[in-house]
Amino acid sequence: MFYQTHSAVVLVMFTLNSGSVQVDGTTPTVVGPERVTSARSSPGATTPLPHPHSPGRATAPKVTRHQLGASLNYNAAYLLSFLPSFPAGWLRFKDKCFMFKGKKDDVKANWSHARSWCKDQGGELAVIDDQYENGELSREKKLFMSPLPTWIGLSDLLSENQYAWSDGVSPVRYTNWNDKEPNNAGGAVRICPFDDGKWNDDACHKDHSFVCYRKKCQSTPSPHLSS
């Protein structure tokens, strides 16, 4: 399963319903019923908390401003830990990030230009290490993207019939060649999403959609919250 940066939204909202916060010196005390919107819930979905003066319940202890601030910062930091730490526009699978290009009216490119575009984004054309990655990439293309052939980073441009990944370091651990492929139709490899993700070699000058990847799927750390 891919994880998308735009799909995980954490919302924290405190709403006082027929209640208020009273401050006596430096000691705030909640004296009305409070509602808290749960993280990862739809907007407006609230969970009522028990009234601090409900029968059979002890009155909530007073806390100092410093204690309240420290508690809110701790909880905010905890919620932020659920936010994805990978860059916007990328999809995460295991420890890699992938970016698909080539939707309708989107950029398409020959193999060399596709590789340059990926490098400009801090990545490379996709390296596929096993059947699970290949399956996820093919499924993503079929569900959300173009069904057109899609460039990946495998080619034999450096040495005829010796296929290698374009990042120059990843070993070729897995292939998924179609029947009678490679057939020397070209020096670079494309995936056919509607053919069980099978691979064909193709002429490098053709414009296709393509998949970029980053090996280390991280972005900047979550912001530090001071107490």
For the chain, give the mean pLDDT. 70
Q: Is residue 224 part of a domain?
A: no
Q: Is residue 226 part of a domain?
A: no
Whether 111 and 155 share a structural domain: yes
Q: Is residue 227 part of a domain?
A: no
Whether 75 and 95 share a structural domain: no
List of residues 6+ apart from 71 with CB closer than 8 A:
63
- Mode of pairing for the β-strands spanning 150-155 and 209-214: parallel
Cβ neighbours of 12 (radius 10 Å) = 13
Whether 12 and 113 share a structural domain: no
Whether 98 and 187 share a structural domain: yes
Q: Is residue 225 part of a domain?
A: no
- Using the 8-state DSSP alphabet, how is residue 188 labeled? E
| Count of structural domains within the chain | 2
Q: Write out the residue range of the structural domain in which residue 12 sits.
A: 3-80
pLDDT digit string, tens, across residues 141-191: 666 555 678 999 999 999 999 999 999 999 999 999 999 999 988 889 998
Q: Is residue 15 part of a domain?
A: yes
Gyration radius (Cα) of the chain, Å: 26
Cβ neighbours of 17 (radius 10 Å) = 11
Last residue of a domain, one of 80, 106, 138: 80
Query: Could you tell me if 152 and 126 are in contact, meaning their C-beta atoms sit under 8 angstroms apart?
Result: yes
The pTM of this model reads 0.59
List of residues 6+ apart from 149 with CB closer than 8 A:
190, 191, 192, 193, 200, 202, 208, 209
Whether 99 and 27 share a structural domain: no
Q: Is residue 125 part of a domain?
A: yes
What is the distance between the alpha carbons of residues 89 and 143, in angstroms, rounded to a whole number? Answer: 17
Q: Is residue 118 part of a domain?
A: yes
Q: Is residue 59 part of a domain?
A: yes
Whether 64 and 116 share a structural domain: no
Whether 72 and 112 share a structural domain: no
Whether 70 and 112 share a structural domain: no
pLDDT digit string, tens, across residues 56-112: 555 555 656 666 555 555 554 444 344 445 567 788 888 899 998 987 777 889 999
Whether 76 and 95 share a structural domain: no
Whether 98 and 45 share a structural domain: no
List of residues 6+ apart from 104 with CB closer than 8 A:
146
Cα 173 from chain centroid?
24
3-state per-residue secondary structure call for 16-54 = ECCCCEEEECCEEEECCCEEEECCCCCCCCEEECCCCCC
